[in-house]
Amino acid sequence: MRYATFASALILMAAPAIASDYQTAMQSYLDENIRSWSQSPILIDAIASQNIQTKEYNQAEVDALDTTWRAEVGDSSSQTVNQVMQNAAANFLREQVTKSGGRITEVFIMDAQGLNVAASHLTSDMWQGDEAKFQKTYSVGVDAIHFGDVELDESSRRYQAQISLTITDAATGNAIGAMTVGIDADALM
């Protein structure tokens, strides 16, 4: 019993160092691999186009879209899901996943409301606006980034961390949306 308590204490003491290592690795991966394509015109155009459609949505309309999305997950004829999964920006995101050689597990972009615009893989919900990945990026402004904790991804059964960042329109310098990139935790270390 005493040994187990000591071992648990050691793990808890090491946790900040491990978290710091992951933060450093995520920053490095962001700088060396993601930034080069995160501001691609295909992503900017997709977000800007959806922002025109959704800029006047109230919370009830956002919630209704999210509810529809959740109901349609798994239905191959679902219009809401297909609009996000079957577009040029989604194809571009899937290319980035492939090019990563297994390091990137998923990528999705969000509009100014926090609604999915394009995704490499299916997400469980459409509205990300109530989550840190959106609130600590787009809501903060240009150049904001957020590193999520390493967690077990239920769909892939792999540990991953999420790197989220604000997407900016280079022409105006304004934040227009956000992007989240899931990274295989083993690939980071």
Mean pLDDT of 36-45: 96
CA distance 87 to 81: 11
Q: What percent of the chain has pLDDT over 70?
A: 88
**Residue ranges of the alpha helices (H) in the chain?**
2-29, 35-38, 41-54, 59-72, 79-85, 88-99, 132-135, 185-188
Question: Of the ranges 21-35, 49-63, 95-109, 143-157, which one carries the lowest mean pLDDT score?
Answer: 143-157
Q: Quote the pLDDT of residue 74.
A: 81
Mean pLDDT of 158-187: 94
Instruction: Give the domains, in start order, of the chain with CATH numbers.
Output: 2-188 (3.30.450.20)
Q: What is the residue-averaged pLDDT of the chain?
A: 88
Residue 70 reports pLDDT greater than 70: yes
110 beta partners = 116, 178
pLDDT tens figures, 107-155: 999 999 999 999 999 999 999 999 999 999 999 999 999 999 999 877 6
Where do we find the tokens 């109530």? Answer: 130
168 beta partners = 175
CA distance 135 to 17: 26
Residue 25 reports pLDDT greater than 70: yes
Stronger pLDDT, 9 or 87, i.e. the higher one: 87
